[in-house]
Structure 1
């Protein structure tokens, strides 16, 4: 009887230990994979200037999802100077869809360049009839831009995509990024304006065509620029798109003539912004001021800028873009997301805490369309061990 009572007590004790261990294990896993922690409070009012200038899942060699790369710039509003010495992870909070993003690695100001100034630059060009003389001026200046890059220390490649209501894929209407400056100058110089007849045009799907990876499953009916022309963007290079147009864009709700070419417009501008951010693309826009409201988010939310060719010379615009491609921000933040869901749009909330004040900003990105779960989990666990 005593033996049975003792055995029962031992079993109960072991069961209790096992349940406690399970609870601890579950709690730990919840903390790692379900954001099981107390969220940092939102910052009600920014007291310094703070900008997220880029975000991506495949940027600058960080192509092993779930690793994500952010470029951020915290500045003193008194003199616009960058706030220095924010080199520890504790200076920043990164909240991915209300779940903590860890671990965080910070590369300080002065170390952030386009990985030895490498850049893959694609012009996304409206070649409809209304572009006319404007297109001639643009192509001349694009050739000058190529000459400027050739004289710089930037390891560049230049290419282009053209569009109207459709994405133009005939001979001479697109060029995969090349380091051969004469090939680019000859090809872009041969472009001419034709067709279109009415507005808007299909800018957003043309951008997605340029963005989508080789073999990527995409909603864009024109497929992938990379797949069609058998090239890959370089992981270590900044990816820069320069959209040049004189009118606004079709949307899924207002596809216009696009219906005659495919099955309609595939992407809203907000969806495309998230896709561009997920692949680390900054999309500069050159368009008339009258369409600023259509393009501000596309440019600014991808860490780029909007220019009006009517008030700024095209040469000056390209000079500004040329300067911008040598840096993507003043701090680079690398972190691990714990959500491996493919093709999911995420919202990141990033906060910075300095002696001068605090600030936060938000940005969206989309996870890769195809995720290797075993590799993602392995990368996540390796990140936790570092």
Structure 2
């Protein structure tokens, strides 16, 4: 009965927001200040497409994974009376290799809507295009003529490109050479499905150098690409957003990009789950205009607490032999290794603390034989910076900080290296606080003993037995104990999510399933991810949120294709045809 009431209420709300008078809402998230999430919001009259101004903070409400988000700031981006007061120069930097044919067709189809959103919102816009493969292929200059821009797009031919990576960095620099208008907002939209050349025979450029160059020119960068480290931190540092190209509907991403450029409100909220655990989060914004309510939903990915500028074998995700989290696993035999050509000078590793810490010592363990050993490493703690020197062939090495430095994060940059290998990295990073120095609790928690892992396995099995006996609350308690013992136990998180779902605790159910997805490893990875995405989808479906449900059914199908997922996707698409919810 509880489920039915919630479902019915969602249907009623959806019906009330789908009418012709309801405003159209388009949101774009930015998570660079996590746990504070900035949302750019475009609110338009559904009939005329014109921007709706004059709304107050009270008109906006935010939910993240069905939990309310606390609004911490609100600002209306006002137009100053004329369209020419808000010039925007937009460049699509587009991969035109063979695997991008569907995206090229989608961009052609959506280019008019993109232009309409900008134009109807009162912006004086121009569009340009730079395409690339292993080299810069085409440069189409700025135009305000949408039909001319579509003709430029139609000239793109998607071919070649089997020899990933591609040359995104040169293409971004070429885009920055286009004659931008004085005072115009410069927005670059990088679209790709591949990694990029860096410091090699194709280009001498590095991601760090290109970002600094774009930063000096005031460029805002959005990236639509695969889930790789550089595609997260590059837009983060340039005030933009990362969109996972494999998240399904590319045309919907184009719409979201347009809304992010033609922003008329900026809303920030504090995530109800401030853990930086690399999980995806669903965000829903409702905007009330008079008696009508419009809404939109999107997703963002929370950062991981240990990140890097690059890593070798990055397509393997956290299963990579070189994942950044290896520097806090307690084993000197596992490593983080950078993934750019050459010796890795300038590559970095970043660690976020849970709060401001008084750091009194940092200990670094060079990688084992066969890897390149950093010689000089720059430690950055807030505004404090110090270059330390490692001895080659020596194990763990300590560097005391006197006086201790208060900071919320640590960044380590490779300044110079000893010769011998192009694969440079670190085996362990230990941060100590206070006097006498004590290992940072967050690092201590990341190390699991064999006994703790075995205990977690046992607790999970007992929880499964109780779950099948219908003892849901008791099973939740055991699953929670299992993940407390071993926070990397993906199956226990998946079981916990299903148990929470059964008792109607949907926010916690979504959270637990998202943790299972982020932690899934090994031969059972795809099964855990598929079932967890499916569980999330069923929760959103029960709440009448067809768009989020479709997205998660789609991800489930990507991990383990099944007819039940195909049928569910079709069911959600039909629902959206009947009742428009997240548009």
TM-score, structure 2 normalization: 0.33
Greater RCO (Cα-Cα under 8 Å, separation 6 or more) = 1
Structure with greater proportional strand content: 2
